[in-house]
Structure 1
């Protein structure tokens, strides 16, 4: 196959830069509502527990419901996106989320709330394995890291916004159902913004729809080198088993373990940060500390987003995990430390953890080929949510039964595993085209 069609003058039907900005915004919007949905539980969990007469285990289950849904939705959404296309799934999964978000206004039992948030989690999981692959397949190599990591910026903005909105509404005695249901508005706006987004030209090329792929590439992709790289797509059928083939098992292992070890301690600590920090004497309800932890995390992911295409992936992936392990170990071992020292350690953890978290969605979209990019991202999402769900579910119990010190040491151990695996398996992908990266296999 030649590059002639792709290299021909592109029709000026759209402003390509404006399209890239739009795609980045609507793809990242899915991460915003993900962060919002997961974060909004924190401010209202006490009210839900009291109103629905839940135990500490029920509290953890409601906190983890969306994460459990993501576990199922990630692989399912990725599989469907690889089979049916990125475009139809890009709007279908958000329609499911909107429906679940509306249902939150009407729940009146803990099991109803659990099932509704489980459904929303399925939609969010699909979002991970659809939005990031679509973004990777349109973004230019020179900006791909920034475009994809911006989704994590949006996630933290959503998480922090949820805390602010939640605490403000609870302060004026709003019903917790109304607080949870506020996710409906951004979801509806995002659904409307996604209408008309084109299909991925790489997916089309992989399916043998060459003319359609070239037309979309010529219309929407600015860099000639990126358009030419699309012609290198192989027309292959992807299978789940390919993730564990000799060519791809290293990539699958890395993205899954790295993601698991990065998000597990953060979800556990951040979801219940107000109650965790209050146990260390940081205010009556820990609100200031909670906002501080999540605000600093937002700053950390912004720094990574700005640097990712300049200094590379590994420098933003490996050192930060070791820093997280150290500061959590300090918290765990120094039980009598002054509250301000504990707060400083939590803030350092939040900043460093967020810096490497910015890479969790970038790597799957880069290291896997088009035919398994969706299902591979979904698998890594599912693995990560096993850890995040367990952390969120078990943290209230662990703080009560094992104590804060032991809980923090366990979290530090998770960070050590992530740092060690990343040290060995994390590739450097900055500036490389997708075919070059995925064909490198296990280097």
Structure 2
């Protein structure tokens, strides 16, 4: 007779008094509200790549200001992730979930009226703060409602939304490319998405897991019963007793430092090359002497990423977290190094970049999965927020320095640096990445504190 591992206790979800249709409506609403929020993040970051050339000319940006405008959302995420994450762990998921989307809405509209690079930098910096908040609250809230089976696929679908938003921004930017001042319309168009998302987020209840982490068991059990949520209540309460109430200092305690280092490093290593190359794709394309098809190449870049993250979403619960993360790190490092070694070979450039984009995006599906699973509920939003911030430090530095790196050292140097970053990500993941597939969140957090097999 099969036995249940000690780390994964059996539990039953009580029957719900709420009709199945109403429960499904809540889950669908929460999923859409989170996916659209993730999509608008990609839209805001992706839109600048297509608009950069025109706005640089119109606003007379220097190379330094060009880098700052490109990196501004990433810098903002550095602040927004930890701050909003801590607020969500302390005051609840629900209020933060709505507030940060309002920042997107206001910032989107203000971009249309900028008259210089500094104004655009400040506005996109504040929008980056909101993006950090979205990473810290959206996925954690969805994960805390998700069943353990299929949770990876559900959370990874958020990354599909991010890449779809990124690709959609590229398409919108291309449509406005030949319009005088069209970059203003393309950047401000994110306001439409923000309005839809604000409307969806009204009426979404608080997280039952968060309520348990605060000792509010009666309220939590009422939600669990009402919506048929699958939660190991005893395990969550045990985690609360052992982990305390969390906070930034707890991230660096002996108990959680392993999770903090892993989530921060693997995420940073994945996104640094993608953001840097994607934001300044035209310059990279020109430096590789690939002709006048940079716009078409950027569209291919974006849609190949969508295909990659979709593939990652489909296999994340089948092959496991570690297999989706570690081998692609080494392969993508090799792809960028190969292009750097043969920068004059068109077939090598095309094949190398396509493999890099596809596999990098496939692994990026885990940025919406792993950070949610390696921290306990009392520390989840804070941990995700901090990991988000650390990932964007590298991405912001890479985005800021890439145009100057191209000017002073050339494309080969930039590509070798990207390959080195990916190799570091592979090495750290080899030793620290846990296997958390199909585990309850409380069990996954315990597993993350143990040495990887």
TM-score by length of 1: 0.95
Residue 428 of structure 1 aligns to a residue whose secondary structure is: coil
RMSD (CA atoms): 1.8
* Residue 329 of structure 1 pairs with residue 337 of structure 2: yes
CA distance in 2, matches of 1:378, 1:222: 25
Alignment of 1:44-443 (within 5 A): 44-223=51-230, 230=236, 234=240, 236-337=244-345, 339-443=346-450
The question of whether the paired residues in 1 share the 8 Å contact of 2:269 and 2:424 is answered with yes
Q: 1:196 to 1:232 in 2, by over 3 A?
A: farther
**Partners in 2 of 1:189 and 1:7 — Cα distance?**
33
**Residue 17 of structure 2 aligns with which residue?**
11
> In 1, are the aligned partners of 2:78 and 2:392 still within 8 Å (CA)?
yes
Asked if structure 1 preserves the Cα contact closer than 8 Å seen for 2:18 and 2:227, the reply is no
Q: Which residue of 2 aligns with 1:32?
A: 39
Question: What's the CA shift for 1:233?
Answer: 5.1
Give the distance between the partners of 1:7 and 1:200, measured in 2 at CA: 16
Structure 2 SS opposite 1:234: helix
Give the conservation status (yes or no) of the 8 Å contact 2:108–2:191: yes
Contact 1:170 1:176 in 2 (8 A): yes
- Taking a change above 3 Å as real, the CA distance of residues 441 and 359 of structure 1, as seen in their structure-2 partners, is closer
Deviations 1:375-403 (A, max 9, x none): 11011001000011011111111111110
The C-alpha deviation readout for 1:119-146, integer Å capped at 9, x for no partner, is 1110110010001111111110002111
Alignment-derived partner of residue 3 in structure 2: none
**Which range moves more in the overlay, 380-389 or 276-285?**
276-285
- TM-score, normalised to structure 2, is 0.93
Secondary structure of 2:424's counterpart equals: helix
How many angstroms apart in 2 are the aligned matches of 1:395 and 1:32?
25
Runs of 4+ in 1 over 6 A off after TM superposition: none
Distance 1:367 1:287 in 2: 39
1:138-185 C-alpha deviation (Å, 9 max, x unpaired): 110002111111110000000010011001112233432222100100
**Would the alpha carbon gap of residues 247 and 154 (structure 1) be closer, same or farther in structure 2, given more than 3 Å must change?**
same
Conserved? CA contact 2:140–2:380, under 8 Å: yes
Is the 1:259–1:380 Cα contact (8 Å) retained in structure 2?
yes
Deviations 1:50-83 (A, max 9, x none): 1111111111110001111111000000000001
1:139 is paired with a residue whose SS is: coil
Distance in 2 (alpha carbons) for counterparts of 1:265 and 1:93: 27
Q: Deviations over 1:229-264 (max 9, x none)?
A: 556552531121111111211111101000011100
**Unmatched segments (≥5 aa) in structure 2:** 1-8
CA 1:379–1:132 in 2, change beyond 3 Å: closer, same or farther? same
Aligned partners of 2:288 and 2:344 also within 8 Å: no
